């Protein structure tokens, strides 16, 4: 039986947090048994925000690999590799960039979102504007059938599909596959301060945090702003803690917390103590696996090396076909 192929990647622009895990990584782990999976560390993409301090990318790349393996990505089931180790990504990006109209890139919704979100770095570079072209090269090099995304991210994939259609029409051959969106439900998790959980906002609970740090961060989390006093009734639906209870706490505990919060039977401090306990219990297997992996760093490098070799063979074959179709060879 031939499995459909999945491809996705993450930028090593900092440590991974719970938003990354529940937004993508947890889903990747479950996809390994249903699809042929290719997952890559998008270190060239990370240059768009770390170009002033690029040496950090190598450090972050290794950390991302450890987080992936700790979370359950299995090199026996998935091909795990580093983008910059495969030069075909850059070459196909260059080729595609010659035929992509600038207005296509300027209307990309992510372009404005990221520019608004990242304030401490000048994001007005050519590389950042053109990142969807590199993203398209990343996808089509591996003839991916699907890219896993949340429902709100699906429109972003349409630009890659447009680029594929333009190339195939220009050269009258179906060289590249139009990638489909593999939609998954992504829980909306706020950071410690209630804003979107992000490395940029310094409000994240990281996958690498130890138990003590997790407790400290949960204790500092923003709760229902209308609940000024202990005896005031609260609203779990506007509290930053409750979405995490929905993930980590049992249904019975969720129901009890919701009821007791609304009647002021418990205070926010009580709620935080309960969440700290269930969150740590939920994260503990990953914490333990991480320590095990850290004791054998050479194995991580070997996994990346083997995955990169396998991915390179696929990318090389696809680029050769594209260049032959264009009569460049």
Work out the pLDDT band at 253, boundaries 50, 70, 90. very high
DSSP class per residue in 200-214: TTT---BTT--HHHH
* Active-site choice (196, 216, 272, 316): 196
* Active-site choice (77, 114, 115, 216): 114
Residues 259 and 310 in one domain: no
Question: What would the pLDDT profile of 259-272 be if each residue is shown by its tens digit?
Answer: 999 999 999 999 99
Whole-prediction pTM value? 0.93
Tokens of 212: 């003590």
Q: Is 173 among the catalytic positions?
A: no
Residues 179 and 72 in one domain: yes
Q: Report the percent of the chain where pLDDT is more than 70.
A: 96
Q: Domain of 281: which CATH number?
A: 1.10.240.10
How far apart CA 84 and CA 43 sit, in angstroms, is 6
Question: What would the pLDDT profile of 75-98 be if each residue is shown by its tens digit?
Answer: 999 999 999 999 999 999 999 999
How far apart CA 216 and CA 85 sit, in angstroms, is 39
Q: Is 188 among the catalytic positions?
A: no
**pLDDT score of 266:** 94
β-sheet with 5-10: strand ranges across = 78-82, 36-41, 5-10, 146-150, 180-184
Three-class SS state of 147: strand
Q: Is 196 among the catalytic positions?
A: yes
Q: Domain residues for 232?
A: 211-290
Domains contained in the chain, number: 2
DSSP class per residue in 30-97: HHTTTSEEEEEE-HHHHHHHHTTSTHHHHHHHHHHHHHHHHHT--TTTEEEEEGGG-THHHHHHHHHH
Residues 186 and 251 in one domain: no
Tokens of 229: 């006093």
Cα angle: 160, vertex 6, 149; to 5 degrees = 60
């Amino acid at each position: 039986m031939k499995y459909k192929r999945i491809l996705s990647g993450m930028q090593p622009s900092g440590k991974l947090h719970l938003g990354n895990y529940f937004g993508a990584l947890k889903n990747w782990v479950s996809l390994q048994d249903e699809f042929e999976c290719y997952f890559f560390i998008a270190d060239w993409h990370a240059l768009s925000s770390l170009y002033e301090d690029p040496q950090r990318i190598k450090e972050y790349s290794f950390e991302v690999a450890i987080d992936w393996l700790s979370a359950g990505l299995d090199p026996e089931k998935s091909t795990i590799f580093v983008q910059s180790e495969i030069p075909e990504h850059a070459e196909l990006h260059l080729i595609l960039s010659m035929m992509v109209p600038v207005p296509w890139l300027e209307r990309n919704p992510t372009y404005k979102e990221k520019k608004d979100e990242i304030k401490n770095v000048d994001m007005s570079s050519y590389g950042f504007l053109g990142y969807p072209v590199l993203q398209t090269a990343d996808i089509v090099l591996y003839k991916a059938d699907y890219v896993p995304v949340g429902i709100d991210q699906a429109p972003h994939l349409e630009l890659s599909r447009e680029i594929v259609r333009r190339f195939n029409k220009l050269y009258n051959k179906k060289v590249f596959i139009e990638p489909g969106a593999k939609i998954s439900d992504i829980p909306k998790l706020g950071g410690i301060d209630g804003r979107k959980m992000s490395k940029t906002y310094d409000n994240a609970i990281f996958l690498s945090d130890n138990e003590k740090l997790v407790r400290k961060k949960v204790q500092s989390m923003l709760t229902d702003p209308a609940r000024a006093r202990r005896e005031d009734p609260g609203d779990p639906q506007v509290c930053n803690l409750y979405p995490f209870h929905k993930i980590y706490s049992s249904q019975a505990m969720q129901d009890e917390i919701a009821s007791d919060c609304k009647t002021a039977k418990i205070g926010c401090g009580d709620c935080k103590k309960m969440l700290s306990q269930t969150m740590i219990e939920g994260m503990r297997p990953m914490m333990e696996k991480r320590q095990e992996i850290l004791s054998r760093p050479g194995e991580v490098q070997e996994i990346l090396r083997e995955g990169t070799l396998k991915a390179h063979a696929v990318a090389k074959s696809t680029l050769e076909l594209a260049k032959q179709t264009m009569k460049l060879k």
